[in-house]
Structure 1
Amino acid sequence: MRKLMGFCACLMFASLTGCSTFKQPSEQEKLNVSEMTSDMRTWALGRGLIDLPANWTGGGDVKLYYGLDANHSTVEVQVLGEGVTQQRYDDALQERANRIAAVKNDGLNNISMLVSAKGETRQRIMLQYFESTEVPDTFVHEFHLLVDDAYVMLRAESYNGNIAPVVARLKKLSREIFKVAPSNAGAGFALGPIVIRSNHDQEIATFYFGPPASDVSLDVYINALSPDEDERLQARTQKDAKIFLANDYENLRAGKITLASMAAEESLVAFSDDTHRQILFVSENYRGNPSLSLPAMSFRLSAGGMKGEPVNPDEADDLVRWTLPAFARQGYDLPLWQQPAAPDPVNPSLTDYEAMAVWDAILKSVRIRFNSVAPTPDPYAHVRVPSAESIAEGKRVLDELLATGPDGQPWKPEPW
């Protein structure tokens, strides 16, 4: 009877978590996991922090929203590179400006698409260009910054010739970005090596991480004010699996977890076709009361499928190509008939045990930074700032007071 009960329990748990969960890991798998998780690097992640294997690299971008109604405006912020010298920054900006300027606006008498390039300093350059040839009064404004050695680009659009407010916002935001270490990022939205201390209303960001030349990738999506999904992750996974995978998948693990001290769920599956196998791990948090300090976070770890190309350590990262407007990309991409065939997909380089162990180590490390959101100023606190005239008069009175002693004679400091 006891054996029968144990067998039934095994069937029940296997249907929920997948039998592969109970496979004992080999010594090599344990060693691989130890190497990946014993030396973790801390990254700043929006309002939080995350620990990742030391050899992983990554990046991301964020869109900041000013106002939450139909008349809101946005600014995109992206770190194009870190460890960038002044010369590399100058060269990248020159190449970018030249490529945009070389394209002619055939809708406006073939004038250059680049409208202007203005610099406050060598580290603060603004480019303005037409968004397209179809809409003559829609412009893109890019503010390029070299913050210590971090190359940061701010991007916004103006419509109907309403340029001044957009430029003013970019200039203000450019002075609210600082180079930081993850451990002391302080208040603000952290994006890799920088923190943005802007007084904005909403922030939506994507981050991507992974080891070099690998089939493994981690994507993170953050939406500060997004409401929780009405239908939870596990229910959606089962529904999507029926539609896209015809229920032909392995349910490795699923259940409720804690993510950044908030309730969350995870769904870990694997699936195969005639060419390869893939694993896909997804997790999302639930908080009920959305805010900048309680953002919606979605994590997606995949392995198998397409594998990244090796990176030449002697070749510097391209600071221009990947963020150019579409009309200025001529010469970068080969015609379709000249492009090499796509490489064959590969099986996961991580075993199920290794992937789940790394996944657990990463998710358990996610935490919200203390005081990551600055206190909101009290709207009822009307602090009067003295006028320039009153400041000048106060200084005059103080100078006279210090210049005259009690006897009406000029005041002199006493000797030591």
Structure 2
Amino acid sequence: MRKLMGFCACLMLASLIGCSTFKQPSEQEKLNVSEMTSDMRTWALGRGLIDLPANWTGGGDVKLYYGLDANHSTVEVQVVGEGVTQQRFDEALQERASRIAAIKNPRLNNVSMLVSARGETRQRIMLQYFESTEVPDTFVHEFHLLVDDAYVMLRAESYNGNIAPVVARLKKLSKEIFKVAAPNAGAGFALGPIVIRSNHDQEIATFYFAPPASDVALEVYINALSPSETKSMGARAEEGAQIFLAGDYENLRTRKITLAGMPAEESLIGFSDDTHRQILFGGETYRDNPSLSRPFMSFSLSAGGIESRPKDPNAVVDLVRWTLPDFASFGYELPLWQQPEDPDPVNPSLTDYEAMAVWDAILKSVRIRFNSVAPTADPYAHVRVPSAEAIAEGKRVLDELLATGPDGQPWKPEPW
């Protein structure tokens, strides 16, 4: 009987720890985890907050939806850079406008793809250009803002010549964006150093974080009103592993958890091929009452595979390249035969214990900010209305900034 009870106990233990082999962490692993998790930085994450190791960096973008029916409209918001001076903002806009203006639209008698550039102040400039050379009445409208030292870009499209409502929405939204410190973000959707206090109906965002020059990466996907998955994450992870990994994977841990105050589930797996090993951790929330303050949140941590290259500490961050429309990005990418070869894949720089400990610390820190959803319109959304002097100065500076196009001919931005 005792042998039978011991055997049953072993089976229960095995079921609790999954398919992984129980192993006590070494003292070095404990020290590494302590160094990574004892100094954490708080980031604003949509309607919530998250703590990450202090040396991690990241960013993201969000698409705001106005209306939930077939006639809804959207605005994309992206933080292009932080610590941006007025001079760098001016230079980036000049390069962007020149590159777009240099491209001609062959379907419309080779007119410039850049339709207009309008300035309210030096910190608030709107560009309008053709979305492509294929559709003559579809335009892209970009509102470029310098909010303190944060360079923010708003982007929306108009169709069939219906331009005025899009421009009006961008103007209104531009006055609802504020620079904040993460713990004091208050009401609104937080995106890095800014908070968006807009009365929109839906928000879908993606955030990316990683340590410097590392094989480790964290991705966070937020969809406020998306319904929860009906099939458990563990079951979907197993199905995906069977299909894409041919069953060659390790189930490190699968369990139900609480994430941002909501029921959630996690699935942690490791897998290998002939060249290297990788780990992939996933976690997501489940809730019956989706809302802006109870969003669907999906977290994915990966380690192993391709390692990011070290960044030059003296390099100036490019404020133009990654956000240009495709038709204006010619010349940035090297020809295929001149591009460096992809580096060889690497094994995870974190042990399973280290990765799981960091993962646990990160997920436990995620919380929804108190009063992150304002019951009424933000009362301070109008405080940055520019004066007549500021408008005049903005027009003068913008005229000088964009006075000459790439062909040497002057083209002038229109006033508001």
- TM-score over 0.5 for the pair: yes
Q: CA 1:255/1:344 → structure 2, altered by over 3 Å: closer, same or farther?
A: same
Aligned pair 1:212/2:209, yes or no?
no
1:185-196 map, 5 Å: 185-196=185-196
- Residue 412 of structure 2 corresponds to which residue in structure 1? none
Partner of 1:344, secondary structure, is coil
- Residue 272 of structure 2 corresponds to which residue in structure 1? 272
Contact 2:19-2:250 within 8 A present in 1 as well: no
**Distance in 1 separating the partners of 2:8 and 2:342:** 46
Partner of 2:107, secondary structure, is coil
Code of the aligned partner of 2:167: V
Partner of 2:190, secondary structure, is strand
Contact 1:21-1:353 within 8 A present in 2 as well: no
- Residue 160 of structure 2 corresponds to which residue in structure 1? 160
Aligned pair 1:291/2:282, yes or no?
no
- Residue 173 of structure 1 corresponds to which residue in structure 2? 173
Aligned pair 1:201/2:201, yes or no?
yes
Q: Alpha-carbon deviations, 1:165-202, whole Å to 9, x = none?
A: 00000000000000000111110000000000000000
Q: Alpha-carbon deviations, 1:36-93, whole Å to 9, x = none?
A: 0000000000000000000000000000000000000000000011111111111111
**Distance in 2 separating the partners of 1:361 and 1:115:** 50
- Residue 142 of structure 2 corresponds to which residue in structure 1? 142
1:38-77 map, 5 Å: 38-77=38-77
Contact 2:18-2:254 within 8 A present in 1 as well: no
Structure 2 gap ranges (5+): 378-416
Code of the aligned partner of 1:60: G
Partner of 1:22, secondary structure, is coil
Residues matched between the structures, number: 377
Contact 1:124-1:144 within 8 A present in 2 as well: yes
Code of the aligned partner of 1:340: P
Code of the aligned partner of 1:118: R
- Residue 108 of structure 1 corresponds to which residue in structure 2? 108
Q: Alpha-carbon deviations, 1:93-138, whole Å to 9, x = none?
A: 1111111111111111111111111110000010101000000000
Q: Alpha-carbon deviations, 1:202-238, whole Å to 9, x = none?
A: 0000000010110000000000000011112111111
Partner of 1:355, secondary structure, is helix
Partner of 2:281, secondary structure, is strand
Contact 1:59-1:208 within 8 A present in 2 as well: yes
- Residue 247 of structure 1 corresponds to which residue in structure 2? 247
- Residue 397 of structure 2 corresponds to which residue in structure 1? none
**Distance in 1 separating the partners of 2:109 and 2:216:** 49
Q: Alpha-carbon deviations, 1:290-309, whole Å to 9, x = none?
A: 00010000000000001111
**Distance in 1 separating the partners of 2:32 and 2:7:** 32
Q: Alpha-carbon deviations, 1:360-394, whole Å to 9, x = none?
A: 000000000000000147xxxxxxxxxxxxxxxxx
- Residue 151 of structure 1 corresponds to which residue in structure 2? 151
- Residue 36 of structure 2 corresponds to which residue in structure 1? 36
Contact 1:16-1:254 within 8 A present in 2 as well: no
**Distance in 2 separating the partners of 1:10 and 1:185:** 49
Partner of 2:108, secondary structure, is coil
Structure 1 gap ranges (5+): 378-416
Q: CA deviation at 1:10?
A: 3.5
- Residue 345 of structure 1 corresponds to which residue in structure 2? 345
State TM-score, norm by structure 1. Answer: 0.88
- Residue 408 of structure 1 corresponds to which residue in structure 2? none
RMSD: 1.3
Q: Which structure has the greater CA radius of gyration?
A: 1
Q: CA 1:57/1:124 → structure 2, altered by over 3 Å: closer, same or farther?
A: same
Code of the aligned partner of 2:119: G
Code of the aligned partner of 1:189: F
Q: CA deviation at 1:34?
A: 0.3
Partner of 1:253, secondary structure, is strand
Aligned pair 1:365/2:336, yes or no?
no
Moved more, 23-32 or 238-247: 238-247
**Distance in 2 separating the partners of 1:39 and 1:21:** 30
**Distance in 1 separating the partners of 2:18 and 2:340:** 39
- Residue 382 of structure 1 corresponds to which residue in structure 2? none
